[in-house]
């Protein structure tokens, strides 16, 4: 299986370095930085409900992907064979591909929500192109890509089909029950794999954002800014504070132990800003409206 994958990778890398820039650009659309920017943008500026639900789905997917990587413990192509050129940096296990799984849940969910032919065509291209870039760049076997498609498709289908049931469940257990679940469940899941930084970060962000989403819905009820000028201003200010908190807390907590706990606090606070802090600020600046005022 691995030898067959190496043959495919070497076949694709015959086009290197001519196609390096193209595939590097594609793979950047599956990197952490892209999602750190795009998820708040959707929630703050485009559609609050879509942004909140997509954020929850994506973070759950990221956690499951890292747990699967730890359990599978499969090598990367450049670790298996020195005939493969490693064009970009990559670490950790290879199966399943995180970029592939992320592309399926992110672009797949948006394609389900926005039924525009052009947008769906772009989403479909990225769902194929991002995984292909990982093979070309020498950081994933084709079997890793297949695993990412499988996990991502199952999660996407299950989430879309269960959305209405989740809304009913939220109403049954009430605000206090949901708040307790948002605070406790991610913490338990993070403790289970506290040695993995990505899994801890995903659950911390889930706790912070989930708590923020619930409190925003109950106490604020904001509507994204009305025009593109206000949307741009809100996004810019929100991301500046986001970046300051992200970098500032990293510097503040550097060297403190246990590192996993302070990482959890850092990502939790940043997530809480995204879910509640930024919408509150937009309302105070009168860039957004309350739902009751529309």
- pLDDT truncated to tens, each residue of the chain (294 aa)? 889 999 999 999 999 999 999 999 999 999 989 999 999 999 999 999 999 999 999 999 999 999 999 999 999 999 999 999 999 999 889 999 999 999 999 999 999 999 899 999 999 999 999 999 999 999 999 999 999 999 999 999 999 999 888 888 888 899 999 999 999 999 999 999 988 899 999 999 999 999 999 999 999 999 999 899 999 999 999 999 999 999 999 999 999 989 999 999 999 999 999 999 999 999 999 998 877 665
Contact predicate 272/211, CB 8 Å: yes
* Chain-centroid distance, C-alpha 219: 26
* Per-residue pLDDT at 250: 94
* Per-residue pLDDT at 166: 85
What is the distance between the alpha carbons of residues 80 and 104, in angstroms, rounded to a whole number?
27
250-259: long-range pairs with CB below 8 Å, 24+: none
3-state SS class at 115: coil
Which two three-digit tokens encode residue 250?
């990293």
* Per-residue pLDDT at 194: 86
What is the distance between the alpha carbons of residues 80 and 136, in angstroms, rounded to a whole number?
15
Please spell the DSSP secondary structure of 234-261, one letter per residue: HHHHHHHHHHHHHHHHHHHHTT-SSHHH
Backbone region of residue 116 per phi and psi (left: phi > 0; alpha: psi in -120 to 50; beta: other values): beta
**Could you tell me which of 32, 27, 61 has the C-alpha nearest to residue 135?**
27
* Per-residue pLDDT at 292: 63
**Could you tell me which of 46, 149, 56, 164 has the C-alpha nearest to residue 96?**
149
Range of the domain at 198: 2-293
* Per-residue pLDDT at 168: 86
Asked whether the CA dihedral 19, 24, 27, 29 is positive or negative, the reply is negative
Q: Which residues contact 294 (CB under 8 A, 6 or more apart)?
A: 223
Report DSSP state, residue 292: G
pTM score: 0.94
* Per-residue pLDDT at 264: 96
**Could you tell me which of 104, 64, 86, 70 has the C-alpha nearest to residue 140?**
86
Contact predicate 136/13, CB 8 Å: yes
* Per-residue pLDDT at 170: 85
Number of domains observed in the structure of the chain: 1
- Tell me the HSE value of 291 on the side-chain side, using a 13 A CA sphere: 11
């Amino acid at each position: 299986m691995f030898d067959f994958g190496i043959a495919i990778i070497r076949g694709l890398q015959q086009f290197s370095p001519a196609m390096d820039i193209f595939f590097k650009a594609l793979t950047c659309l599956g990197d952490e930085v892209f999602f750190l920017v795009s998820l708040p943008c959707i929630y703050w500026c485009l559609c609050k409900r879509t942004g909140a639900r997509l954020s929850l789905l994506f973070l759950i997917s990221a956690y499951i992907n890292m747990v699967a990587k730890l359990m599978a413990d499969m090598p990367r192509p450049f670790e298996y064979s020195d005939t493969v050129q490693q064009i970009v940096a990559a670490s950790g296990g290879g199966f399943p591909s995180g970029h592939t799984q992320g592309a399926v849940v992110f672009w797949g969910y948006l394609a389900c929500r926005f039924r525009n032919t052009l947008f769906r065509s772009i989403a479909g291209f990225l769902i194929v192109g991002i995984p292909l870039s990982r093979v070309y760049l020498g950081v994933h076997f084709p079997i890793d890509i297949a695993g990412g498609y499988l996990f991502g498709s199952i999660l996407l289908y299950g989430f879309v089909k269960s959305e209405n049931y989740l809304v009913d469940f939220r109403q049954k257990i009430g605000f206090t029950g949901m708040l307790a679940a948002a605070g406790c469940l991610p913490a338990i899941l993070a403790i289970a794999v506290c040695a993995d930084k990505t899994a801890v970060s995903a659950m911390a962000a889930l706790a912070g954002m989930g708590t923020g989403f619930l409190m925003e819905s109950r106490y604020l009820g904001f509507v994204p800014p009305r025009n593109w000028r206000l949307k741009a201003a809100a996004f810019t200010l929100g991301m500046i504070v986001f970046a300051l908190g992200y970098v500032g807390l990293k510097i503040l907590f550097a060297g403190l132990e246990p590192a996993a706990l302070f990482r959890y606090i850092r990502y939790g606070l940043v997530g809480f800003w995204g879910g509640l802090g930024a919408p509150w600020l937009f309302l105070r600046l009168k860039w957004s409206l309350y739902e009751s005022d529309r």
